[in-house]
Structure 1
Amino acid sequence: MAVSPELEGLRRIAPSRFVSFSFPNPFLGHASDPYGDGGGGGGAGERLRVAVLDSPLPSPPVPGTAAMLVPAGRHRDWIFSTRAGHLHLLLSIQFSRLILVGPELYVPSPRVIPCIARPDPDPAHARLRPLLLALCPIAAFRDNAVPDVPLLTFQDDLLLLSPVKFVAGPVVGEMVVEDVAIDNAPGPAELHRRLRFKRMPCLVQTQVRLCRSPAAAAASSSLVETLKGSGGFLQPEVGGSLVQPYLQAMVAGLAVIAPSIEESIQSGVRPRCLCAGVGGGSLPMSIRVGLQFSVLGVEADSVVLDVARNHFGLVEDEFLHVHVGDAIQMIEDFSRQRQPDIKFSAVMVDLDSSDAMCGVSAPPLEVIHGSILLAARTILDQHGVLILNVIPPPADGSVYKGLIDVLRQVFSELYEIDVGNGENFVLTATVSPIETALADNSGHFLTELRKLAGDFLEHIRKI
Structure 2
Amino acid sequence: MDKGTFEALVPSRFITFTFPNPSHSTTTTATHYHLHTQLLRVAVLDSPNQPTTTNPPRIAAMIVPTHRETDWIFSTDTGHLQLILNSDEISRLILIGNLPIDSHPTIYTRPISIDPTLQSKLAESLTPLLLALSPKSAFKYGLPEIPFLGYEDDVIRSVIVERCVGDCVGEMLIEDVELEGKREFQRRLRFKRMPNLIQTQIRIIPNASLDSVNLGDVEFGLDMASLVHPYLTPMVASLSLIGSYLEERIRGGFRPKALCLGVGGGALLTFLNNQLGFEVTGLEADEIVLNIAKKHFGLQDSKYVRFCVGDGIEFVEKLAGQYRKPNCDCVDNGCCLDNVDCLDAKFDVIMVDLDSSDAGMGIMAPPLEFVGKSVLLAARLVLSEHGILVINVIPPSRSFYETLIHKFQEFFEELYEIDVGNGENFVLIATALPIGTASIDYENSFLSKLKLVISGAYLDSVRKI
TM-score with structure 1 length normalisation?
Answer: 0.90
The amino acid across from 2:123 in the alignment is H
Corresponding residue for 1:207?
A: 201
**SS state at 1:181 partner:** strand
Tell me, yes or no, if structure 1 residue 15 matches structure 2 residue 7.
no
Q: Quick check: 69-78 or 156-165, which moved more? A: 156-165
2:250 is the counterpart of 1:265: yes
- The aligned residue for residue 115 of structure 1 is 110
Identity of paired residues, percent? 45
* 2:130 maps to 1:137: no
Distance 1:49 1:438 in 2: 61
CA–CA distance in 1 between the matches of 2:202 and 2:459? 21
- The one-character-per-residue Cα deviations of 1:396-449 (angstroms, maximum 9, x if unpaired) are 542211110011110000000111111111100000000126898996322322
Instruction: Quote the residue 1:337 is aligned against.
Output: 322
Q: In proportion to residue count, which structure has more helix?
A: 1
The structural deviation recorded for 1:386 is: 0.3
The 5-angstrom pairing of residues 48-447 of structure 1 reads 48-59=40-51, 60-61=53-54, 62-94=56-88, 95-107=90-102, 111-115=106-110, 117-118=113-114, 120=116, 121-143=119-141, 145-183=142-180, 185=181, 188-213=182-207, 216-217=208-209, 220-222=211-213, 225=214, 227-230=215-218, 233-238=219-224, 240-337=225-322, 341-393=344-396, 396-436=397-437, 444-447=445-448
CA distance in 1, matches of 2:432, 2:70: 47
- What's the secondary structure of 1:333's corresponding residue? helix
Listed one character per residue, the Cα deviations across residues 183-207 of structure 1 (whole Å, up to 9, x for unaligned) are 2x4xx22100000000000110000
Q: Which letter does structure 2 place at the counterpart of 1:268?
A: G
**2:21·2:35 contact (CA, 8 Å) conserved in 1?**
no
Q: Deviations over 1:112-156 (max 9, x none)?
A: 31236535332211111111111111111113x111111111011
One-letter amino acid of the structure 2 residue matched with residue 164 of structure 1: V
In the TM superposition, residue 288 of structure 1 has moved relative to its aligned partner by 0.5
Distance of aligned partners of 1:26 and 1:347 in 2 relative to their CA distance in 1, 3 Å threshold: same
Please give the alpha-carbon distance, in whole angstroms, between the structure 2 residues aligned to 1:281 and 1:377.
Answer: 24
Q: Distance in 2 between matches of 1:38 and 1:456?
A: 42
Distance in 2 of aligned mates of 1:449 and 1:73: 43
- Conserved 8 A contact 1:68-1:101: yes
Q: Do 1:41 and 1:110's aligned partners in 2 also have CA atoms closer than 8 Å?
A: no
Q: Matched residue of 1:259: which SS?
A: helix
Hey, what's the Cα distance between the residues in 2 that align with 1:411 and 1:242?
28
Task: Give the 3-state SS of the residue equivalent to 2:345 in structure 1.
Answer: coil
| Counterpart-to-counterpart distance in 1, 2:443 and 2:10 | 57
Instruction: Determine helix, strand or coil for the equivalent of 1:200.
Output: coil
SS class of match (1:420):
coil
SS in 1 for 2:454: helix
Q: Shift in Å at residue 390 of structure 1?
A: 0.7
Contact 2:347 2:387 in 1 (8 A): yes
CA RMSD between the two structures = 2.1
Instruction: Output the CA distance in 2 between the equivalents of 1:447 and 1:82.
Output: 47
SS at match of 2:306: strand
Q: Does the 8 Å CA contact 2:261/2:350 hold for their aligned counterparts?
A: yes
Classify the secondary structure of the residue corresponding to 2:231. Answer: helix
Inter-partner Cα distance in structure 2 for 1:299 and 1:245? 20
Letter in structure 1 aligned against 2:377: L
CA distance in 1, matches of 2:40, 2:292: 34
Task: Say which of 456, 459, 462 aligns to 2:461.
Answer: 459
CA contact (8 A) 1:255 1:438 kept: no
Deviates more, 1:413-422 or 1:117-126: 117-126
Q: Write out per-residue CA displacement over residues 209-230 of structure 1, whole angstroms, 9 at most, x where no aligned residue.
A: 00112xx23x8414xx2x1225
Q: 1:197 to 1:108 in 2, by over 3 A?
A: closer
- Which residue does the alignment assign to 2:340? none
Return 5+ residue gaps in structure 1 as ranges.
Answer: none
SS in 1 for 2:196: strand
Could you tell me whether the CA contact under 8 Å between 1:181 and 1:190 is conserved in 2?
Answer: yes
- Paired amino acid for 2:370: V
Cα pair 1:67 1:98 within 8 Å, conserved = yes
2: CA distance, partners of 1:42 / 1:14: 31
Query: Would the aligned equivalents of 1:70 and 1:102 in 2 still touch at CA under 8 Å?
Result: yes
Aligned-pair distance for 1:297? 0.3
Secondary structure at 2:188 match in 1 = strand
**Residue deviations 1:243-274, cap 9 Å, x none?**
01101111111111110011111222100000
Aligned partner of residue 228 in structure 1, secondary structure: coil
Residues 381 and 88 from structure 1, CA distance in 2 versus in 1: closer, same or farther, beyond 3 angstroms? same
Kindly indicate whether the alpha-carbon contact (under 8 Å) linking 1:251 and 1:452 is maintained by their aligned counterparts in 2: no
Letter in 2 for 1:309: K
Contact 1:173/1:197 (8 A) holds in 2: yes
Gapped runs of 5+ residues in structure 2? 325-342
Q: Paired residues, what number?
A: 440
Contact 2:13–2:46 (8 Å) recurs in 1 = yes
CA contact (8 A) 1:16 1:56 kept: yes
Is 1:256–1:438's contact at 8 Å kept on the other side of the alignment? no
Question: Counterpart of 2:131 in structure 1: which amino acid?
Answer: L
Q: CA deviation at 1:46?
A: 1.3
Q: CA deviation at 1:40?
A: 6.8
Instruction: State the Cα deviation string for residues 267-326 of structure 1 (Å, max 9, x = none).
Output: 221000000000000010001101100000000001101110111111110011111111
Amino acid at match of 1:236: L
Q: Is the 8 A contact 2:321 2:382 kept in 1?
A: no
